[in-house]
Amino acid sequence: MSAEAVPGPDGPSGAEGPERSLNSGAASPVSVVACPDGPLLIRGDFELVGADGQELPRTRRTVALCRCGASVLKPYCDGSHKLTGFRSEP
Amino acid sequence: MKQPSARGDVSALVLATIAATVESAQDGLARLGAVTRAAVAGTPDILHDDDLQLALFCLYELHYSGIDGAGDDWEWNPDLLRVRQCIEAAFEARVRDEVDLGDLPGTTSEAVCAELFRLTGDDSGPSMSRFVSKSASNDQLREFLVHKAVYQLKEADPHTFAIPRLTGRSKAALVEIQADEYGNGLPARMHSALFARTMRELGMDDTYGAYLDVTPAITLASNNLMSLFGLNRRLRGAIVGHLAAYEMTSSQPNRLYSRGFKRHGYGENATEYFDEHVEADAVHEQIAGRDMAGGLVEEDPRLLPDVLFGAAAGLAVDTLMTRHIMDAWESGGSSLRRSEAMAS
Ligand code: FES
């Protein structure tokens, strides 16, 4: 699917537009959900890059970023926040 | 799926019935109804009843990949559906007995999500993942895969039946999760395909149903529960709750499973299935709790008890399955029905 413009009722129509590695449908605004006691859930069309500007390995469109510090898959969440009893509210 | 071996009168009659044509099976069907009612009335515990769980599994299988030799016109045969409902009703009642919901939370998405995390975080019962990580033998790893294979070779399918029954936020969330389960358009990334590769790495047959004959009743019950929830629209809340509970109890156990396979020297081809779930389900559990389950309850608050029931029922039946497996292993035996079949 292309990320360009608004798709018709049957979905994205043409082959024009930038190639995308993940099925992203139409371009959509990025939303970040701060999950209580858990990760930041990021949806929409965004790029995740390292300090060197290179895109980080990513296999899914929506990702959960660790904000508890305990994940061994950083920057992604691996569910460790549940074991450490991380609290997002003071 | 190839025809499994019967385990008693009901499963024998079900298998014989669907192997015949609808026209020639009328006498058998009449007998099947009576035999099923008697078996359901007489079973000491339907969750551990090999004959009834296999019969139900085969009846559900007609809605999935089918059974070799069974005509497609059996799927919606009213007499056969009546037999299925007879077993289903007793099965559902037994599972409801096993579950105690306690006080219900509020009907906001956040309250539902928090309650599901609380429910799934309650760590009661034995831990198979810790055992697999630290102590399981190679044979036990293979047994573990036999139990998992019934679901994992068709991973996500029972919950997919819920998609047309949902709308809006909960539907979008379910589809988002399922798209990931089905590999986001890449067949080799489908979770079922990753699991099949793990089986092959251990020298096992990855054909769906290959080990069904050695799979015990309680493992079939765990799978039948998903089909019960998935194939009955009235239980759409329960299938949603069930999926949420599965997603919420997956990340950490899968990390430990992966470790157990690495401990035996298996490489990425065997462990990727588990490693993939650590990251995927950390995402899915948030979507499942807040948007899918929470979204569904916000849209229709009457479904709150069903959502929680589905989650609690999945956990309860799987706890019984884990107990069955761990008890067998602790006493030095096999958790399968006939261990010779695993020697191949
Ligand atoms: S937020 Fe989930 S592991 Fe850190």
A71 or B122, which is more confident: A71
Read off the pLDDT of each residue in B227-247 and give the average, rounded to a whole number.
98
CA–CA distance, B53 with B88 (Å, rounded to integer): 10
Sign of CA dihedral B70, B75, B77, B81: positive
pLDDT at A74: 93
Read off the pLDDT of each residue in B148-164 and give the average, rounded to a whole number.
97
CB contacts < 8 A, A to B, total 60
Tens-digit pLDDT profile for residues A24-72: 555 688 999 999 999 999 999 999 999 999 999 988 889 999 999 999 9
Q: Answer yes or no: is pLDDT of B341 > 80.
A: no
A14-18, A61-65, B12-16, B162-166: segment of lowest average pLDDT: A14-18
H helix or E strand, kind and range, residue A31: strand A31-34
In B17-84 the beta strands, taken as DSSP E runs, fall at none
Sole residue written with tokens 């399981």: B136
Tens-digit pLDDT profile for residues B239-285: 999 999 999 999 999 999 999 999 999 999 999 999 999 999 999 99
What is the total count of domains within chain A?
Answer: 1
Evaluate whether residue A82 is within a structural domain.
yes
Tens-digit pLDDT profile for residues B18-30: 999 988 998 889 9
Q: Answer yes or no: is pLDDT of B124 > 80.
A: no
Evaluate whether residue A11 is within a structural domain.
no
CA–CA distance, B79 with B187 (Å, rounded to integer): 37
Is B264 within 8 Å of B67 (Cβ atoms)? Answer: no
Quick check: B282 and A77 CB within 8 A?
Answer: yes
B290 in reach of chain A (CB within 8 A): yes
Going by C-alpha positions, the residue among B163, B148, B90, B134 that lies closest to residue B273 is B148
Evaluate whether residue A59 is within a structural domain.
yes
CA–CA distance, B224 with B215 (Å, rounded to integer): 13
Tokens of B306: 């069903």
| Range(s) of the domain holding residue A40 | 28-90
pLDDT at B194: 97
Evaluate whether residue A78 is within a structural domain.
yes
Read off the pLDDT of each residue in B300-314 and give the average, rounded to a whole number.
98
Q: Answer yes or no: is pLDDT of B9 > 50.
A: yes
CA–CA distance, A41 with A62 (Å, rounded to integer): 7
pLDDT at A3: 37
CA–CA distance, B314 with B109 (Å, rounded to integer): 21
pLDDT at B122: 83
pLDDT at A6: 40
Read off the pLDDT of each residue in B110-137 and give the average, rounded to a whole number.
91
Is B57 within 8 Å of B231 (Cβ atoms)? Answer: no
Question: Which residues are bridge partners to A31 per DSSP?
Answer: A43
Evaluate whether residue A10 is within a structural domain.
no
Q: Answer yes or no: is pLDDT of B70 > 90.
A: yes
A-facing residues of B in 49-108 (CB < 8 A) are: none
Evaluate whether residue A67 is within a structural domain.
yes
- Cα-based torsion angle of the residue sequence B29, B236, B311, B56 in order, rounded to the nearest 10 degrees: 10
Evaluate whether residue A68 is within a structural domain.
yes
**Which distant-in-sequence residues (6+ apart) come within 8 Å of B278 by Cβ?**
A73, A78, A79, B251, B252, B254, B255, B258
**Which distant-in-sequence residues (6+ apart) come within 8 Å of B106 by Cβ?**
B112
What one-character-per-residue DSSP string does B156-200 give?
A: THHHHTTGGG--HHHHHHHHHHHHHHTGGG-GGGSHHHHHHHHHH
**Which distant-in-sequence residues (6+ apart) come within 8 Å of B43 by Cβ?**
B49, B52, B90
Tens-digit pLDDT profile for residues B193-220: 999 999 999 999 999 999 999 999 999 9
Read off the pLDDT of each residue in B70-87 and give the average, rounded to a whole number.
96
Going by C-alpha positions, the residue among B136, B68, B139 that lies closest to residue B344 is B139
Evaluate whether residue A18 is within a structural domain.
no
Q: Answer yes or no: is pLDDT of B39 > 80.
A: yes
pLDDT at A23: 52
Q: What is the pTM of this model?
A: 0.92
Q: Answer yes or no: is pLDDT of B223 > 50.
A: yes
Q: Answer yes or no: is pLDDT of A1 > 80.
A: no
pLDDT at A33: 95
- Beginning with the edge strand found earlier in the chain, give each strand of the sheet holding A40-43 in spatial order: A31-34, A40-43, A63-65
Is B274 within 8 Å of B253 (Cβ atoms)? Answer: no
Is B119 within 8 Å of B245 (Cβ atoms)? Answer: yes
CA–CA distance, B280 with B274 (Å, rounded to integer): 10
What's the whole-number average pLDDT of chain B? 95
- Which domains are delineated in chain B? 9-97 (no CATH), 109-343 (1.20.910.10)
What one-character-per-residue DSSP string does B66-123 give?
A: --TT--GGGTT-HHHHHHHHHHHHHHHHHHHHH----S---SSHHHHHHHHHHHHH--
Residue B145 C-alpha, separation from nearest chain A C-alpha, in angstroms? 23
Q: Answer yes or no: is pLDDT of B167 > 50.
A: yes
* CATH number assigned to the domain comprising residue A59: 3.40.5.90
A-side interface with B, Cβ within 8 Å? 22-23, 33, 35-36, 38-39, 41, 59-64, 71, 73, 76-80, 82-83
Is B290 within 8 Å of B297 (Cβ atoms)? Answer: no
Quick check: A78 and B255 CB within 8 A?
Answer: yes
Sign of CA dihedral B48, B16, B148, B281: negative
B232 or B26, which is more confident: B232
Contact list, A73 vs chain B (CB under 8 Å): 278-279, 282
Quick check: A79 and B252 CB within 8 A?
Answer: yes
State the pLDDT confidence band at A8, using cuts at 50, 70 and 90: very low
